[in-house]
Amino acid sequence: MGLTPPAARHGGDRIAQALQVQGVPCVYTLCGGHISPILSAAKARGIRILDVRDEATAVFAADAAARLTGRPGVAAVTAGPGITNTITALKNAQLAQSPLVLLGGAAPTALQGRGALQDIDQRPLVEPHVKRFFKPRRVRELGPAVAEAFALAQSGVPGPVFVECPVDLLYDEASIRQWYADAGGKGTALADRALRWVLNRHVRRMFDGNAEAQAPVVTRVPPPQAAEASVRAASAALRKAERPLVVIGSQAVVQASQADALADAVTRLGIPVYLSGMARGLLGPAHPLQMRHQRRSALREADCVLLAGVPCDFRLDYGKHVRRSATLIAANRSARDARLNRRPDIAAIGDAGDFLQALARQAAAPEPPGRAGWLATLRSRDEAREAEIDVQAAVAGEFVNPIALLRALEREAGADAIFVADGGDFVATASYVLHARRPLAWLDPGAFGTLGVGAGFALGAASTQPGREVWIVFGDGACGFGLTEFDTFVRHGIPVIAVVGNDAGWTQIAREQVKMLHDDVATVLARTDYQAVAAGFGAEGLLVRRPDEVVPAMRRARLLAAQGRPVLVNVWLDKTEFREGSLSM
């Protein structure tokens, strides 16, 4: 990054140069005539171009890359339908506060609003889902727009940023001048000459100052820091508490490089802790302070609760899980999220990870007495629940017990494995049974709860974390969204392993629908041969129907993946009562 990159050849290359100075390793894309110069120039600058089969996948991949590296991921899609296809993934990234830069094609500047191919007004469509919609109109603005997009994506509350790249800004000046000259025609009527004059002026403006444009620079974005007073107040409140509790969510680990320091800090605080979202695995596979079960009871009993990067949304029953009399501390980059549904006693507006580290520096004093009982209570409840799960895992049926399957995956997966979660009940079960074993080793959609993230997240993970095992834990319904990406995995040698929990249905929905409406309409699927579909794309497909086939299939999958092969393991599941009664709204 310290080297001066080669000068840019054209607008597309200005964008590529801006990506290069940011150290972007991969651009995720699905091609289109509007963006060809960006892709070709990025490739020439040594950036890996990973072309997928649906634009949503490209954005999901950029999202995952951002979460795992702490640097914005980048996707490039063509104008019109390329952009409309990204909206779900873009919204997901926005709600997950994941920083990414989406480069979108656009019709030529002079033809916008005149019925050009794929020309729609993109701003009203995209703007609600991004921190900013950049609309450069001159070639020299392209590099700075990308540079600014990177800084903005990471600043404050991170999130996606969009840069619209009209195609006539992306090619070299001679070609564009020729294109506009052709468009101006050769007519001699006054109107023809006037049109040529207007077009000429338009082109001059587009390339104005292009020659003097500077190479883009990288702006370092310091994380926002909570006020010193909030650190002192929180520290005092926690020290006084008899039953303190910390809940740490994704936002606390947006500085991916700080994960180990954060884990140290949490250990030093010595307070029982629940981890969610990207923070799962922060404390390793087993840590004396970490609890996994009965969070609701713990929150009800705690007399001081610190929510680090966790809003009081549906996941905390809109704040009702925390008892009224408890001292509530909310550390959040977003002032709105810190106060969502419930006003905290202490609001620490800034980076939640840094806040925890600052708290740990203050917590040098010995732990107050009486805490051991609290920790022991939580621990024994946690262990009791694990024992119940063991019982549920031992229930034998016709096919494979989903809990037993997930326990086997827990044992068989490599120590550095990343788990990507995409599905309904099977995946919700996995979130209790399958433990992320290190920081940044668990990816789920986040608050938007969209199905279909799996393939894209896995691509983002595998391409930025080479050498690590990437397992997608798929519901059979969810796997249908991105199954075509097995083609992408094969073409690009992305050795992910997908485990499809095949219960022949959209079970999370069926469970309540059948109970309340006595109707399974639209919730039934078949025991489809998903492994054959993957094999059809050139990947490895394995079928598991009996418990004794589980471990051999997982070992074979690992072996194949280690040889660079993508694998899909289709596992026929039995029904389970594990998720009975749970409903998310």
Residue ranges in contact with Mg ion by CB under 5 A: 475-477, 503, 507
Count of residues engaged in binding ligand TPP, rule: CB under 6 A = 19
Minimum CB separation of residue 405 from Mg ion in Å reads: 13
Minimum CB separation of residue 411 from ligand TPP in Å reads: 21
- Kindly tell me which of 148 and 425 has the beta carbon lying closer to ligand TPP: 425
Minimum CB separation of residue 398 from ligand TPP in Å reads: 17
d(CA 440, CA 347): 26
Q: Is position 578 an interface residue for ligand TPP (rule: CB under 6 A)? A: no
Q: Are 455 and 57 in contact (CB under 8 A)?
A: yes
Site string for ligand TPP, 444-473 (x = CB under 6 A): -----xxxx---------------------
DSSP category for residue 368: P
- Produce one character per residue of 104-128: b if its CB has 16 or more CB atoms within 10 Å, e if not: bbbbbbbbbeeebebbbebeebbee
User: In which element (H, E) is residue 166 found?
Assistant: strand 160-166
DSSP category for residue 319: G
- Position among 39, 478, 553, 557 found at the interface with ligand TPP (CB under 6 A): 478
Q: Are 539 and 489 in contact (CB under 8 A)?
A: yes
d(CA 480, CA 504): 12
Strand partners, 77: 30, 104
- Position among 143, 353, 475, 482 found at the interface with ligand TPP (CB under 6 A): 475
List the single partner that 570 binds among ligand TPP, Mg ion, none, CB under 5 to 8 Å by kind.
none
Residue 28 φ then ψ, to 5°: -95, 135
Classify burial at 212, counting beta carbons within 10 Å of its beta carbon; exposed 0-12, middle 13-18, buried 19 or more.
exposed
Minimum CB separation of residue 523 from Mg ion in Å reads: 9
Angle of CA points 254, 260, 262, to nearest 5°: 65
Segment interacting with ligand TPP (CB under 6 A) among 192-200, 205-213, 352-360, 507-515? 507-515
- Position among 104, 184, 281, 477 found at the interface with ligand TPP (CB under 6 A): 477
Distances 546 to 95, 245, 397, 399, 400 between C-alpha atoms, Å: 39, 42, 9, 5, 6
Q: 437-440 contacts: CB < 8 A, separation 24 or more? A: 437/281, 437/284, 437/285, 438/281, 438/284, 438/285, 439/253, 439/259, 439/260, 439/262, 439/263, 439/279, 439/281, 439/282, 440/67, 440/68, 440/253, 440/256, 440/259, 440/278, 440/281
Strand partners, 128: none
List the single partner that 452 binds among ligand TPP, Mg ion, none, CB under 5 to 8 Å by kind.
ligand TPP
* Residue count of the chain: 585
- Position among 37, 344, 353, 423 found at the interface with ligand TPP (CB under 6 A): 423
List the single partner that 478 binds among Mg ion, ligand TPP, none, CB under 5 to 8 Å by kind.
ligand TPP
Residue in the block written with tokens 């072996």: 559
Q: Is position 11 an interface residue for ligand TPP (rule: CB under 6 A)? A: no
- Kindly tell me which of 382 and 485 has the beta carbon lying closer to ligand TPP: 485
Binding residues among 348-377 for ligand TPP as defined by CB under 6 A = none
- Kindly tell me which of 168 and 503 has the beta carbon lying closer to ligand TPP: 503
Q: Are 47 and 26 in contact (CB under 8 A)?
A: yes
- Kindly tell me which of 401 and 450 has the beta carbon lying closer to ligand TPP: 450
- Kindly tell me which of 277 and 501 has the beta carbon lying closer to ligand TPP: 501
Q: What single string gives the DSSP state of each residue in 64-109?
A: HHHHHHSS-EEEEE-STHHHHTTHHHHHHHHHTT--EEEEEEE--G
- Position among 150, 426, 442, 578 found at the interface with ligand TPP (CB under 6 A): 426
Q: Is position 572 an interface residue for ligand TPP (rule: CB under 6 A)? A: no
Which of 321, 160, 338, 324 lies closest to 249, judged by CA? 338
- Kindly tell me which of 134 and 481 has the beta carbon lying closer to ligand TPP: 481
Minimum CB separation of residue 560 from Mg ion in Å reads: 24
d(CA 573, CA 564): 28
What SS3 class is residue 326? coil
- Kindly tell me which of 21 and 405 has the beta carbon lying closer to ligand TPP: 405
List the single partner that 451 binds among ligand TPP, Mg ion, none, CB under 5 to 8 Å by kind.
ligand TPP
Minimum CB separation of residue 511 from ligand TPP in Å reads: 8
DSSP category for residue 256: G
Minimum CB separation of residue 344 from Mg ion in Å reads: 38
Segment interacting with ligand TPP (CB under 6 A) among 109-117, 177-185, 408-416, 501-509? 501-509
Q: Is position 221 an interface residue for ligand TPP (rule: CB under 6 A)? A: no
Residue 41 φ then ψ, to 5°: -70, -40
504: left (phi over 0), alpha (psi -120 to 50) or beta: left
- Position among 508, 531, 570, 576 found at the interface with ligand TPP (CB under 6 A): 508
Minimum CB separation of residue 428 from ligand TPP in Å reads: 8
Q: Is position 506 an interface residue for ligand TPP (rule: CB under 6 A)? A: yes
Minimum CB separation of residue 323 from ligand TPP in Å reads: 30
Distances 248 to 160, 171, 263, 276, 353 between C-alpha atoms, Å: 22, 47, 11, 6, 9
Q: Are 443 and 278 in contact (CB under 8 A)?
A: yes
- Kindly tell me which of 69 and 507 has the beta carbon lying closer to Mg ion: 507
- Position among 503, 557, 566, 576 found at the interface with ligand TPP (CB under 6 A): 503
Classify burial at 316, counting beta carbons within 10 Å of its beta carbon; exposed 0-12, middle 13-18, buried 19 or more.
buried
Residue nearest to ligand TPP (CB): 475
Segment interacting with ligand TPP (CB under 6 A) among 72-80, 267-275, 365-373, 418-426? 418-426
List the single partner that 449 binds among Mg ion, ligand TPP, none, CB under 5 to 8 Å by kind.
ligand TPP
- Kindly tell me which of 219 and 582 has the beta carbon lying closer to Mg ion: 582
Minimum CB separation of residue 479 from Mg ion in Å reads: 9
- Position among 507, 531, 570, 576 found at the interface with ligand TPP (CB under 6 A): 507
Segment interacting with ligand TPP (CB under 6 A) among 104-112, 262-270, 316-324, 506-514? 506-514
- Kindly tell me which of 150 and 426 has the beta carbon lying closer to Mg ion: 426
**Lateral strand order in the sheet of 304-308:** 273-275, 244-248, 304-308, 327-332, 346-349
Strand partners, 248: 275, 308
Instruction: List interacting residues with ligand TPP (CB under 6 A).
Output: 423-426, 449-452, 475-478, 501, 503, 505-509
